Chains A and B, each alone.
Chain A
Amino acid sequence: MNKTVRITLAALLSVGLAACASKQAVKPQPEQTPPPPPPVATAPVASGKYTPADLDTDPCLRQRSIYFDFDKADIKPQFQQIVACQAKYLVDRPEARMTLEGNTDERGTREYNLGLGERRAKSVSSALEALGASAAQITVVSYGKERPVCREHNETCWAKNRRVDIVYTAK
């Protein structure tokens, strides 16, 4: 999830905790029922388990593409968060199944690019498994350069094609 959401989340949790703290400072009288806790924003990520509905609503889970540098298959720091929440989903939902589709930009030969796309998809699956996902939940497919999202011959387009797409086949 992005920074803003995290900070907001943290702020809301601290408000909640502060509210609890202030409650304790005011000594409750035994006969009185304690006042209801102040409302806390429902943000289940930090402590709860994902549910299928989160796939459509959670800002991190909704991000299903991881992008790569030219000729590279290593996951860049800015995509670690996406890998983390997707891994958590797989851990929280043992019945969930995911296909990782590896892609490349148009440069280079078709068959070599099938290999490069697979290398990227496997890089993501390794990262997911390292975070607790089961290999049985993940299928790896490579389309090489056969499934471009754009056709222009420039870096802006090439960057969009160097990607692994996450597709949930079972939630």
Chain B
Amino acid sequence: MMIRHLKAFLAAALVAAVSAIVPAGVPAAQAQSLTLDIVNGVPSAIPITIVPFAFESAATPPATDVSEVIRNDLARSGKFRTLGRQDIVETPTRGSEIKFPTWKLLKQDYIVVGRERDVSGGQVRVDFELWDVTRQQQLLTLAYTALPADLRGVAHQIADQIYQKIIGVPGAFYTRIAYVTAVGVGKSLQYSLIVADSDGYNPQVVVRSRQPLLSPAWSPDGKQLAYVSFEKGDSAVYMQDLATGARQLISARKGINGAPSFSPDGTKLAMCLSFGGNPEIYVMDLATRQLTQLTHSMSINTEPRWMPGGQSIVFTSDRSGKPQLYQVPLSGGGATRITFQGEYNANVAINYDASQFAMVQGSGNVYRIAVMDRKLGDQMRFLSPGPMDESPSFAPNGSMLLYAASEGTRGVLYSVSDDGRIRQRLSLANGDVQSPSWGPYRQH
């Protein structure tokens, strides 16, 4: 089954209460949900059935349909073909109730069954089992206990478990994304930096401004967001605690303060600062606020991203004429150019093991997301068609990549699988979405 669109499903999110995390003085306000449309799927996906979970207590069942969230997550990955609810002819809730011939007839490889019940403290306990249909073997059984309001998170964690068990790679459903929306025109134009679940659900406003917001960057523990704001009239870098809304001004020096990027251990922030005369890469120690200048080149040097080991930084520089990617060690020393294909390469995103470097590659008037495979001799493949694609960001498991695109007059986001075959669009009903950033695995 292919999920055609989740618009109606996500419309419910608009009704759900939105908790706004805003700095003091900014009124809390509702954030629009993104609409997620699956654009294409893959015929060779693994057939799996997620049977609706039974609610086994006398009280009213919780509002969240956990099995539906799991079903949508697995379908979104493009690696599974989930059986539509209308085709689920039997509803076992535990392994002993599964009649395997039924599911063999329906050509299913796997089946997930589960049940929920109220427990003390107003919480809900969710039990699920993953079974191999062909071998009639239980692969996984786990239980989660959470408040009804946190059941979507439980569903995402279950989806991650199922994904990892079958695919062999950690799932990234229990993650969040950050992005900027721009709504309105002229005097009524308003920018919002938003954090939402990776399926677009539960959008929460981090900060709102009449001036541009861009370049959100997640701390490795998922607790802080650094970003660029023009609220002072010029670019400045802020760092904000997502739980409390408290934020600190990191740099508002003369000139450009841009492109923040946390080190893998969370203790440093790389940035582009031009107060010295031209844009250069600096690293700030967050404890001492001391700056170290990493690049020294009369050119534009910007968009730093850390290598996973934390020992060097990859960045964009036009010192050779047009933007290309360079790498510079933290210990000091010269920068080495690393891209040699394409007239314009910028805005690198590095996956978790540094085997894939995604970037914006420009050729004439077409800007597309390209991925350089460092395990295959730096072979380049294109993940997007262009013409105005930018801001690539990997999911923490590297299997999906988020980027921004232009569709007619509006800005939208796309999530694409690492092989480019699965694509989903995330859009706003009446505004632009831009500058996406995929957050780390959530802490359980």
Residues of A that sit less than 8 Å from B by CB: 71, 106-112, 114-116, 118-119, 140-143, 146-147, 151, 153
**Quick one: which of B81-123 are within 8 Å of A by CB?**
none
Which residues does chain B contribute within 8 Å of A108, judged by CB atoms?
A: 323, 344, 346, 360, 362, 367, 390
User: Nearest Cβ in chain B — how far from A44, in angstroms?
Assistant: 33
The answer on a CB contact under 8 Å between B360 and A153 is no
The residue on A at minimum CB distance from B272 is A111
Q: Does B72 count as interface, using CB distance less than 8 angstroms?
A: no
The CA-CA distance from A71 to B107 in the complex, in Å, is 56
CA distance A71 to B346 in the complex (A): 14
B235, B387, B435 — most chain A CB neighbours (10 Å): B235
Contact B303 A143 (CB under 8 A): no
For A107, the chain B residues whose CB sits under 8 A away are 362, 365, 367, 388
Which residue of chain B has its CB nearest to the CB of A147?
B212
The listed residue (B318, B322, B347) touching A111 by CB distance below 8 A is B347
Name the residue among A108, A114, A118, A147 with the largest chain B CB count within 10 angstroms.
A114
- CA–CA, A31 and B407, complex, Å: 84
Selected contact of B387 from candidates A115, A119, A140, A153, CB within 8 Å:
A153
Q: A110-B390, A118-B274 in contact; A142/B316 too (CB < 8 A)?
A: no
- Tell me if B256 is interfacial: C-beta within 8 Å of chain A: yes
- Contact at B214–A110, with CB atoms within 8 Å? yes
Interface residues of B in 289-309 (CB under 8 A from A): 300, 302-303
Tell me if B196 is interfacial: C-beta within 8 Å of chain A.
no
Closest chain-B Cβ to A142's Cβ sits at a distance in Å of 6
Q: Which A residue sits closest to B255, measured CB to CB?
A: A118
CB distance from A115 to the nearest CB of B (A): 3
Is B234 located at the chain interface by the 8 A CB criterion?
A: yes
B387 and A146 form a contact (CB under 8 A): no
Chain A: which residue is nearest B233 at the CB level? A141
Residue from the list B302, B347, B367, B391 in contact with A115, Cβ < 8 A:
B302
Any A CB within 8 A of the CB of B158:
no
Residues of B within 8 A of A116 (CB): 300
Complex Cα distance, B212 from A155, in Å, reads 24
A-B contact pairs, 6 of them (CB 8 A): A111-B303, A112-B323, A114-B302, A115-B279, A115-B302, A140-B255
Report yes or no: B215 in contact with A115, Cβ–Cβ below 8 A: no
| B331 contacts chain A at the CB level, 8 A cutoff | no
B258 is an interface residue with CB less than 8 A from chain A: yes
Q: Which residues of A contact B320 (CB under 8 A)?
A: none
Shortest CB–CB separation between residue B113 and chain A, in angstroms?
A: 47
Identify which of B214, B256, B272, B365 contacts A146 (C-beta below 8 A).
B214
Interface residue B382 (Cβ < 8 Å from any Cβ of A)? no
B322: nearest chain-A partner, CB-CB:
A71
Minimum CB distance partner of B277 in chain A: A122
Say whether B355 faces chain A, with CB atoms less than 8 Å apart.
no
Cα-based distance from A116 to B322 in the complex (angstroms): 11
B190 interface hit (Cβ, 8 Å)? no
